[in-house]
Amino acid sequence: METRLNSWDLPCTVAGRVGSVLALPFPEHHFDAVWCANMTQYLSDDELATALREFRRVVRPSGLVAIKDTDVTVWNFTPGGPALVWRLLDAAQVRDRQIQGLLRTPDLRRWLERAGLEAVRQHRTHIEWWAPLRSAERTICGEFLVWAASLADAVTLPEADHRRWRALRDLDASDHPLNGPDFHHYDAPVVAVGRVPIPPVG
């Protein structure tokens, strides 16, 4: 990790540490801010509450805690029909912790408030990609579709949905929506930010 960081020629000193967000290896009030991206989706509710307590613990009073994750309730693609994705997410949330976490993302602001942070705000940024896709866009959209198709294998869905998801695995198929002129992908990352309160004087 240190070798990679040093090769990036960063404008400031950066040190890599390996640890758990559930028990950060740092003392209280050690940082001005904490930035956490694309990780809360993997935590249970209890673990998220613990991680936020840890973030608050290691940030100085008036410092910032910022959380970013994907709002999967916004993710979809066309052509295909939005209910295809909605049925998948509804079925997968019963057994898949990551889906449970992604469906929780719209409420991250409330989680920061319950963790005792102040001046909490949240912003959603909408992302849309339309055909014809650039190479990087095609890669990202294809990875989303293959990931969703793998979820479909493990849940109960109408047989027509299973057939559709199986077909979506083959990104090179000539009739794959990714390769058509009407493809449209949209989703929305969410960033929630709050401040560690300043203790009262006296």
Q: Is 35 helix (H, G, I), strand (E, B) or coil?
A: strand
Per-residue model confidence as pLDDT tens digits over 113-132: 999 999 999 999 999 999 99
The residue with greater pLDDT, 45 or 12, is: 45
Q: Is 179 exposed, middle or buried (0-12, 13-18, 19+ CB in 10 A)?
A: middle
Domain that holds residue 66: 29-195
Query: pLDDT band at 200, cuts 50/70/90?
Result: confident
CA torsion through residues 174, 142, 189, 105, sign = positive
Percentage above 90 pLDDT, the chain: 87
Q: Which CATH number characterizes residue 146's domain? A: 3.40.50
Cα separation, 92 vs 84, in Å, equals 12
Per-residue model confidence as pLDDT tens digits over 51-62: 999 999 999 999
In a domain, 3, yes or no: no
In a domain, 22, yes or no: no
Mean pLDDT of 43-53: 98
In a domain, 18, yes or no: no
The residue with greater pLDDT, 163 or 200, is: 163
Nearest Cα residue to 196 out of 51, 34, 20: 34
State the Cα angle at 168 between 38 and 170, rounded to 5°: 105
**pLDDT for res 183:** 97
**pLDDT for res 105:** 98
In a domain, 20, yes or no: no
Cα separation, 122 vs 106, in Å, equals 9
Per DSSP (E only), the strands in the chain are 31-37, 59-70, 76-78, 118-124, 127-130, 184-187, 189-195
**pLDDT for res 172:** 93
**pLDDT for res 201:** 81
Mean pLDDT of 74-93: 94
Counted domains in the chain: 1
In a domain, 108, yes or no: yes
